[in-house]
Copies of this chain bind each other. A is one copy, B any other.
Amino acid sequence: MTVASASAVATPTPPPADSQARISQFMKDIQDEICQGLEGLDKTGKFREDAWQREEGGGGRSRIMRDGRVFEQGGVNFSEVWGKQLPPSILKQRPEAEGHGFYATGTSMVLHPLNPYIPTIHLNYRYFEAGPVWWFGGGIDMTPYYGFVEDVQHFHQTFKEICDRHHPDYYPVFKTWCDEYFYLKHRQETRGVGGIFFDYQDGTGELYRGPHADKASATCSREIGNLPQRTWEDLFAFVQSCAKGFLPAYVPIAEKRQETTWGDRERNFQLYRRGRYVEFNLVYDRGTIFGLQTNGRTESILMSLPPMVRWEYCYAPDTDTPEAQLYEIFLKPQDWANWTPQ
């Protein structure tokens, strides 16, 4: 069955009249919920809030934690902006938005723990409306420095269960999409162990439209078929479930690893690996590049960068070490939800 052919572009059904108010409230609520959960985990670190206004319309609240017990540095950002026209990079993907005003809101966060045995974590969910089109995008992915299969399994199984409650095709599609998006081509490595990710979801059942549509569709469709048609309410419910899955997916991992002792060796490896996070965010990440090129609030955009980082020419871990194992097992796409010991 062809749900959406390449030639006939389906138009999404209109969103409800109170869509913006509801999403905006949700994005703020999830920022509150996650900040509260992370302060509970950290026990000593507190988020400091900066509220800011955007001249062209809208604003946000950036919350930063520094020098906590668990978190060395990190931020949880909410923003809600509107204006006369989407930037060209997005209009290319959604030409129907041309000539229309736009509304966009989202929550994004990156937390860099101090203990190298606790993974760095990222969440971002966003929503756009512009003329006849609207869409949801975002995801959650985890970046360990030392890999533990049971942690990665827990993380992926949490999101697989959430996805499965909404549609059986969601997890395989959005897990693959995540592996493809958070990929450092110049290093031939994934950023971490992935998670789930999607973009331009408007309920029409298309995986993606725009310049990369062929690649994304081909990669995903061959393996798992098209996505189901969905209403705005279905997708909003799904995004809410994913975002609410963040704390139960991550907090138990951080709690399990927080007492593991570490020294210079682990710290050096963590600082080195953080360099990859910087490379990904500044070279590939659509959100970061979009923000920097369109006069976004630089400090809020770059709060995803780690507090301390190092680069070392031609570093390679010694064989048969946990550091080598990270590259061999954890920085490649794996079927984590169904992992069986080898």
Contact = CB atoms under 8 A, between A and B. Distances in A.
Interface stretch (A35-43, A235-243, A275-283): A275-283
Contacts of A314: 50, 64, 299
A176 interface: no
A310 B313 contact: no
Interface residues of A, number: 34
Interface string A48-85: 00100000000000101010000001010000000000
A6 interface: no
Interface string A159-197: 000000000000000000000000001110000000000
B311 A302 contact: yes
Given A186-B292, A283-B292, A306 B313 contact: no
Name the residue among A62, A309, A313 with the largest chain B CB count within 10 angstroms.
Answer: A313
A283 to B, nearest CB: 5
Contact of A73 (B62, B278, B292, B313): B313
A307 B307 contact: no
Interface of A: 50, 62, 64, 66, 73, 75, 185-187, 271, 275, 278-279, 282-283, 289, 292-293, 296, 298-299, 301-303, 305-314
Q: Which 6 A-B pairs have the closest CB atoms?
A: A282-B282, A305-B311, A186-B292, A309-B309, A64-B313, A186-B298
14 contacts: A64-B314, A66-B313, A73-B312, A185-B292, A186-B296, A186-B298, A187-B298, A275-B305, A278-B282, A282-B282, A283-B283, A283-B292, A308-B310, A309-B310
